[in-house]
Amino acid sequence: MAVLLVSHQFHAAYGSELATSAKEHGIALDVLALPAGREARLDEADCERVDAALFSGDVFPDYSRQFFSAVRKAPRLKWLHAFNVGVDHPIYHEMLARGVRLTTSSGSTAEPIAQTAIAGMLMLARNFPHWLAAQRKHLWDPMRGSGVPRDLRGQTALVLGLGQIGREFARLARALGLKVIGVRRNTTQGGTAVDEIHPPAHLAELLPRSDWLIIACPLTHETRGLITAATLARLPAGARVINVARGEIVEQNALIAALESGHLGGAYLDVFDPEPLPPDSPLWELPNVIVTPHNSSVASGNDRRVFEIFTDNLRRWSRGEALVNEVAKGPT
């Protein structure tokens, strides 16, 4: 019988459904719930029984220390499933180094993140910051003359990363009439979602063609600090940046300088370096910047989608089959 570690919140919400699913598929499963309370700890004997663990969204951030304390003390742990998509945190490298199989919930938040990114694009493209600023001042201030926004149709969006988020963004952007260029390491995949697809080595020559730079790639050794002052300078004057990936991909001071100088026409930013964004950061006050607190994925259906991905993998794991969204061991 496999022993699965879950949070007490997950157990309360999905424990009965999980037990039913396991029974239907002939899986002998003992579900072990973390004790409630941030300071509560799983006892050593229970930790030693754990074969698999689910890091669900309700654990982060308040119960993360409690959860990973138990996971670290589980010598039999063979598989860890994470609710999130990014696995750049050191704890995941630690698990992989131990030989623990790691899977993610990639795809569970692709739609809400892409929709939020599109909303940010539309707000900037239609110059909502102008109207919102006027509203706060109780001013009737229609846009006229040079303030009138360009048509979005016919503009070009350059999407860095064509995972599920990047592909969904591309689909929505093309429906709005944009041309979409995709950049990813493996150009044999994801090409149908975009008008063009190129490897990262072509980034410098693609930037001058791009009205929008959409950052949707994972944080890796190759992408950390990828967007520099030189990168931003290659974008046309007035181009905009959208980042729903990781703050560390962009040199934040260079981004601020490009926004303050007027070279960039605006930005929608959901991620920063560091996080939380310090109260004295200029990004809070820049009139052409929309800030959200690393929250673009929020949606009521996320937990259900994570549950479905996890239970599919649970069936696969119990049968010795290939797992969905398994992370390869090695540097990311």
Which tens digits make up the pLDDT trace of 203-241? 999 999 999 999 999 999 999 999 999 999 999 999 999
pLDDT at 332 exceeding the cut of 80? no
- CATH 3.40.50.720 in the chain, residues? 2-106+300-319, 110-291
Among candidate residues 184, 246, 248, 305, the one labeled active-site is: 246
The pLDDT value given to residue 91: 96
Question: Rounded distance, CA 142 to CA 277, Å?
Answer: 32
Please report how the helices 164-175 and 110-125 are oriented relative to each other, as an axis angle in degrees rounded to 10.
Answer: 40
The one catalytic residue in 294, 315, 316, 326 is 294
Question: What residue type is 160 in one-letter code?
Answer: L
- Confidence band, pLDDT 50/70/90 cuts, at residue 330: low
- 159: nearest Cα among 137, 189, 177, 182: 182
Q: Is 263 a catalytic residue?
A: no
Burial 299-325 (b: 16+ CB within 10 A, else e): beebbebbbebbbebbbebbeeeebbb
pLDDT tens digits along 147-185: 899 999 999 999 999 999 999 999 999 999 999 999 999
Q: Quote the percentage of the chain above a pLDDT of 90.
A: 92
> Is residue 275 annotated as part of the catalytic site, yes or no?
yes
What architecture (CATH level 2) is domain 110-291? Answer: 3-Layer(aba) Sandwich (3.40)
Annotated active-site residue 24? The verdict is no
**Among 17, 275, 308, 321, the one annotated catalytic:** 275
pTM of the model: 0.93
CATH topology for 2-106+300-319?
Rossmann fold (3.40.50)
